[in-house]
Copies of this chain bind each other. A is one copy, B any other.
Amino acid sequence: MKNLYTPPRPEPIDEFIEVLAGSGRTRVERIISRGQASPEGFWYDQDEHEFVAVLQGAARLRLQAPDEEVVLGPGDHLTIHAHRRHRVEWTSPDEPTIWLAVFYADASD
């Protein structure tokens, strides 16, 4: 058994991504951000759908089509459909932001 709030040792300075579970095109990840944001002009454009929740900290996402800005705090979650372009505009510089993300594909893919 492991804990989502336990920091990895040694504590990483960069953004930290850990696959917790999954198989095939389903993947459960813990992501820990420390003030990181997506590079200027970078947009994620993923083949998989993504369910994402913030468990600790805070973050601001920007999404396209439709254009939307979303601020997430502990417990907030949303689903970003495959190929909906999005980027992380901001994460809290004051504490680690812990994300839980589940990537998955359509059954027919």
Contact = CB atoms under 8 A, between A and B. Distances in A.
A78 interface: yes
- Interface SS majority for chain A: strand
Interface string A2-24: 11111000000000000011111
Interface in A36-57: 49, 51, 53, 55
B5 A74 contact: yes
A2 B79 CA distance: 10
Nearest to A70: B1
Contacts of A75: 3-6, 55
A105 interface: yes
B25 A107 contact: yes
A26 interface: yes
A100 B28 CA distance: 11
A99 interface: no
B1 A23 contact: no
